[in-house]
Amino acid sequence: MTDAPVNPNKALWEKGDFTRIAETMRESGEALVRRIGITRGLKVLDLGCGDGTTALPEAQLGAEVLGVDIARNLVEAGNRRAAEHGLTNCTFQEGDASNLHQLKDQTFDLVVSIFGAMFAPRPFEVAKEMVRVTRPGGRIVMGNWIPNDPTLVAQILKISSAYTPPPPEGFVSPMTWGVESHVTERFEAAGVPAAKISFARDTFTFHYPGTASAFVGEFRKYYGPTMNAFDAAEKNGRAAELQRELEALFNSQNQGKGGTSIPATFLRVTVGR
């Protein structure tokens, strides 16, 4: 028997335990879902759904939700959480945003992808797939981190990249999904006129009950991209330096009194089909 080749995109997100970070994002996930026009019976695809930070609130508002994610452990966690909340209108399955072959054309009224599809390779295929599975008259809503933004997540990814080896030739940075011209180009190539694509700045706030430095520890132990940065930094004897840089970032952005509360800006993209 030969082992299946490793998919680095899948391996990255199955590494660690993203649910630990997702726990700190629930409040903003619920608040965002309340702003995107969910109605009873709406057919929603939540793509790159993780363990359901936005999928569960969508279902709680009465939508029929399918969560799709590349990471098996997060799909399992999502299904567990939906069952714990008694939600029979929310199911999770494995899938790749770059190739949603298991989903039929024009199936969903709304495709939501909050910091999800942006991490899939082949962004033009991702846009094409999201458009293909959305019904005419439906919508796509994406939340994408913004490159070089001064707030938390863009800075974590920027700092981390300085400690990791350069990506392979041809790699397209997920952060390009935070640049309006790239997003427009990708959806136009998928057949959507630019007039149907709109952008807004929005905020997600991370809430963690411990100190900002302890919150860095959660990223180091459980968040795939940060774990990889520390693995690489350790090999070069630079792990302490990376830890210091991240602690300085988290502490400088912490607005919490007692616990940790850090806002992060993202690009909200709305596409009409």
Ligand X SMILES: C[S@@+](CC[C@H](N)C(=O)[O-])C[C@H]1O[C@@H](n2cnc3c(N)ncnc32)[C@H](O)[C@@H]1O
Binding site for ligand X (CB under 6 A): 9, 13, 18, 22, 25, 29, 48-50, 53-54, 69-71, 74, 96-98, 114-116, 119-120
Of 70 and 82, nearer to ligand X (C-beta) is 70
Q: How near is the Cβ of 31 to ligand X at its closest, in Å?
A: 12
Q: How near is the Cβ of 99 to ligand X at its closest, in Å?
A: 9
Q: How near is the Cβ of 201 to ligand X at its closest, in Å?
A: 17
Of 201 and 244, nearer to ligand X (C-beta) is 201
173, 120 Cβ separation under 8 angstroms:
no
Q: Which residues pair with 113 in a beta bridge?
A: 142
How far is the CA of 119 from the CAs of 8, 9, 136, in angstroms?
Answer: 11, 8, 26
Of 15 and 196, nearer to ligand X (C-beta) is 15
Of 99 and 236, nearer to ligand X (C-beta) is 99
Q: How near is the Cβ of 193 to ligand X at its closest, in Å?
A: 26
Of 203 and 236, nearer to ligand X (C-beta) is 203
When CB distances to ligand X are compared, the closest residue is 50
Residue 45: exposure state from Cβ atoms within 10 A (0-12, 13-18, ≥19): buried
Of 196 and 202, nearer to ligand X (C-beta) is 202
Residue 240: exposure state from Cβ atoms within 10 A (0-12, 13-18, ≥19): exposed
Of 49 and 141, nearer to ligand X (C-beta) is 49
Of 115 and 219, nearer to ligand X (C-beta) is 115
Q: How near is the Cβ of 216 to ligand X at its closest, in Å?
A: 17
Q: How near is the Cβ of 68 to ligand X at its closest, in Å?
A: 6
What is the distance between the alpha carbons of residues 189 and 255, in angstroms, rounded to a whole number? Answer: 41
Q: How near is the Cβ of 150 to ligand X at its closest, in Å?
A: 19
Q: How near is the Cβ of 236 to ligand X at its closest, in Å?
A: 26
